[in-house]
Amino acid sequence: MVSRGRAVLVAYVLLAGCGILPERVSRDDGRLKPMFEAMSRVDRRSLGFTDVAPDAPIKIEWGPRHGYDVMLHITAKTARTVAFRRTPSGYDWIGEQEIFQGPAKYQTPDGEFSECITITFERVHISGVPLNRITVDYWGDDPELSRLRPQLTLDDARPRLNRWGYY
């Protein structure tokens, strides 16, 4: 009989090998080059996104699924996902979401969380936000940002993100 721990390990290895679980990769992994080239063709800063730190941990999720062929999961000062669609010449950047954590905490029925601002932009339906539009969400108790929900804009969020040290 197989132990429960061994069964979990075998399942993890099989899922990782099938590309179902994100695979940890280094920034200099050659498979990432076409994705970073695709990112460089987009004015991501005007959409509110920050540069990816050279030493940021990266995981890659191979598709296809949910409208994308590849998704990068990048964590460092922020947490982000970047979606790509395969093309004959490489990849196209089709969407990104970046989460900026703030210093304040707030209480919910599920416990205490850090306030955060999330910026999302999608060219293809992935998470359900409107296409080709910057979507800015705030979670927390700050009355200034809370009163702007659900119409929070990048112009509303940028001063706060500056104060939090992101721009």
Per residue in 134-153, pLDDT (tens digit) is 999 999 999 988 888 788 99
Secondary structure, 3-state, 83-133? EEEEECCEEEEEEEEEEEEEEEEEEECCEEEEEEEEEEEECCCCCCCCCCC
Please state the rounded mean pLDDT for residues 113-126.
97
pTM for this structure?
0.85
Token pair listed for 104:
């304040």
Cβ pair 104, 140 in contact under 8 A: yes
Q: What's the burial of 78, exposed, middle or buried (CB within 10 Å: 0-12/13-18/19+)?
A: buried
